[in-house]
Amino acid sequence: MAYPKITGLITALLTAFDENGNVSEKGVRQIVRHNIDVNKVDGLYVGGSTGENFLLGTEEKEEIFRIVKDEAKDQVKLIAQVGSLNIKESLHLAKFATDLGYDSLSAVTPFYYKFSFAEVKDYYNTIINSVDNQMIVYFIPFLTGVNITIDQFSELFENPKVTGVKFTAGDFYLLERFRKAFPEKMLYAGFDEMMLPATVLGVDGAIGSTFNVNGVRARQIMDLARAGKIEEALKVQNVTNDFITDVLKNGLYGTLKICLQEAGVEAGCCRKPMGAYTPEMIEGAKKIYAKYFGK
């Protein structure tokens, strides 16, 4: 069976929590709406790093998948990140998200233990062969320590249900080699800072955290780069990277959430061990919002 191609601008969705660290359904719904109605993205990547997924229990992950699908309906493409060190949880979530109608699954490479590539490959095949869905490999070596070579990607693609890669890495030689070797696979830029060069190298789309706030500029970069207007695209990437640099200095996910609050979205708090917002951080985030999005 053929699975849908997912292209364009895809937000790595933030999760709204209340002060006690519980998932805020109202907040999650508002973040989804803001991404669809204001940022006008093409898809949502749910349960990734940006969603603080690795801090959550199974039922909470289910709840988020359910709320997002209920709010987004079929307005945008939905990707569910189901990777976990607990393979039974991954299998359970893979079925859960597939039954809800998610257009694709994704799974982070298994991390912490030094798994062999044979074990990594078996993990992907075990998950995706258990359901009628497609799999986007979540490749993020700077957080997982797991690298994958072109030959190993080729081995993962022996399973036709493995249809793409979210490429959150700075190795653009590997990105170029990947594009050339697998023109039919879906390839997504995972670092928003490098969307312009990634687009020039031919990615099908981008999956990013900062699109929650900066989606309109991200769309401009993608469109201008695809139209060959590189100088104009670079100007927007420069402003975007000034914004991202400021956000990273102030604390990534918290700052994005406080920016959303400035935009009228109840994006809430982060979940421990992520820290509570300090007054300085709130002040910093408000300044960032005013600087890049002030009227």
Give the binding-site size for ligand MN9 (rule: CB under 6 A). 15
Q: Name the 3-class secondary structure at 214.
A: helix
Contact positions with ligand MN9 (CB under 6 A) in 208-267: 208-210, 244, 252
CA dihedral (38, 244, 237, 175) in degrees, to 10, reads -100
Angle at 138 between CA 135 and CA 141, to 5 degrees: 155
**Count of beta carbons in the 10 Å neighbourhood of residue 124:** 21
The span of 24-32, 44-52, 152-160, 172-180 binding ligand MN9 (CB under 6 A) equals 44-52
Catalytic site residue from 138, 188, 253, 292: 138
Dist CA 179 CA 204 (whole Å): 10
Q: Do residues 196 and 222 lie in contact, with contact meaning Cβ atoms separated by under 8 Å? A: no
Cβ distance to ligand MN9 smaller for residue 48 or 268: 48
| Residue 12 sits in the site that holds ligand MN9 (CB under 6 A) | yes
Dist CA 51 CA 270 (whole Å): 9
Catalytic site residue from 69, 77, 166, 185: 166
Contact positions with ligand MN9 (CB under 6 A) in 133-172: 168
Q: Which of 27, 48, 197, 284 forms a contact with ligand MN9 (CB under 6 A)?
A: 48
| Residue 81 sits in the site that holds ligand MN9 (CB under 6 A) | no
> Per-residue contact track with ligand MN9, 176 to 195, x per CB under 6 A?
--------------xxxx--
Dist CA 132 CA 130 (whole Å): 7
Q: Do residues 138 and 107 lie in contact, with contact meaning Cβ atoms separated by under 8 Å? A: yes
What letter would DSSP give residue 205?
Answer: E
CB of 160 to ligand MN9, least distance (A): 25
CB of 213 to ligand MN9, least distance (A): 11
Q: How far is CA 170 from CA 179, 193, 205, 278, in A?
A: 15, 10, 16, 31
Is-catalytic flag, 124? no
Cβ distance to ligand MN9 smaller for residue 81 or 163: 81
Residues that bind ligand MN9 (CB under 6 A): 12, 48-50, 168, 190-193, 207-210, 244, 252
